[in-house]
Amino acid sequence: MIDEFRNRPREEASEKIEFYIIQNQLKPHDKLPSERDMCTMWGFNRTTLRGAIQNLIILGKLYNKKGSGTYVAPNKLERDLQDLKPFSATVSEAEKNLETKVVSKRILESTKQISQKLKILLGHKVLELIRVRIVDDEPIMIEISYLDYEKFQRLDEHDFSKESLYKVIEKNYDIKIEKGNEKIGITYATEDEAELLQIKEGEPLYFLTGVVTDDQGFPVEYFKSVSRADKIRFSSRLTR
């Protein structure tokens, strides 16, 4: 059964394309041969080849330009789920460029869910910060942060398109951010998310939610984020 699955034409065509990229040392944004040429090279029909290309696009290994052809996609950004380092550090280590766009910054009354996560009273003032993370000119992540505004007064006066949220908190409020917990799942882009991420509504996204705490175990931030599955992947280390 496993061998039969592995040898299906679409999977075989995918392997041929990936091997061609390696063998010819193609780099990100290099163009592949035309569909007709690849069908001739490997003996696949057009339907099989297109299915293989679509699989590799979903996996983030290829991308299409309408009317131009198929290209090698840049490597996905990788984030360690067990690492609390700033997103900016992850991007820098990957030798990519990061921009941050602040979509919204406002003071709200805490809902029941936010109160439970931040361990504050219902109706307590909280800062809601919504940012879009843009890597190499492509929006890949929307982050929503909730913070106790009575604890972090005037935090909203900072420009978080240029400043790191965690660095501002540690420097200005004498708090050491130490650990956190998060859950990851899959969701699908809403109309608003699709517009911000410049993708189609309904495309798959990673969904993360969690709480970051200080060295005393008190909640600092309750966060939610959605990330483009074609631009980022998440990893985790296993130990015994």
**pLDDT greater than 70 at residue 6:** no
Task: Identify whether 204 is part of a domain.
Answer: yes
Specify whether 199 is located in the same domain as 152: yes
8 A C-beta contact, residue 49 and residue 9: no
**pLDDT greater than 70 at residue 41:** yes
Taking the C-alpha atoms of residue 217 and residue 165, their distance in angstroms, rounded to an integer, is 19
Specify whether 55 is located in the same domain as 125: no
Specify whether 113 is located in the same domain as 94: yes
User: What pLDDT score does 232 carry?
Assistant: 86
Task: Identify whether 2 is part of a domain.
Answer: no
Taking the C-alpha atoms of residue 52 and residue 59, their distance in angstroms, rounded to an integer, is 11
Q: Which residue range forms the structural domain that includes residue 35? A: 9-72
**Residue % of the chain over a pLDDT of 90:** 70
CATH number for the domain harbouring residue 45: 1.10.10.10
* Domain-terminating residue out of 44, 72, 100: 72
Specify whether 133 is located in the same domain as 231: yes
* Domain-terminating residue out of 52, 72, 92: 72
HSE, CB side, 13 Å, CA atoms: give it for residue 113.
7
Give me the phi and psi of 119, to 5 degrees please. Answer: 60, 50
239: pLDDT confidence band, cut at 50, 70 and 90? low
Specify whether 121 is located in the same domain as 156: yes
pLDDT in tens, 60-116: 789 888 888 999 988 778 777 767 777 778 888 877 899 999 999 999 999 999 999
Specify whether 35 is located in the same domain as 93: no
Task: Identify whether 3 is part of a domain.
Answer: no
Specify whether 33 is located in the same domain as 107: no
Taking the C-alpha atoms of residue 130 and residue 118, their distance in angstroms, rounded to an integer, is 17
Specify whether 18 is located in the same domain as 115: no
5: pLDDT confidence band, cut at 50, 70 and 90? very low
User: What pLDDT score does 101 carry?
Assistant: 98
pTM more than 0.85 = no
pLDDT in tens, 128-179: 999 999 999 999 999 999 999 999 999 999 999 999 999 999 999 999 999 9
What's the whole-number average pLDDT of the chain? 90
Domain count, the chain: 2
Cβ-proximal residues to 227 (8 Å cutoff; 6+ apart), any chain: 140, 141, 142, 205, 206, 208
230: left (phi over 0), alpha (psi -120 to 50) or beta: alpha
> What is the number of other CB atoms lying within 10 angstroms of the CB of residue 199?
20
* Better-scored residue on pLDDT, 60 or 188: 188
User: What pLDDT score does 235 carry?
Assistant: 74
Task: Identify whether 37 is part of a domain.
Answer: yes
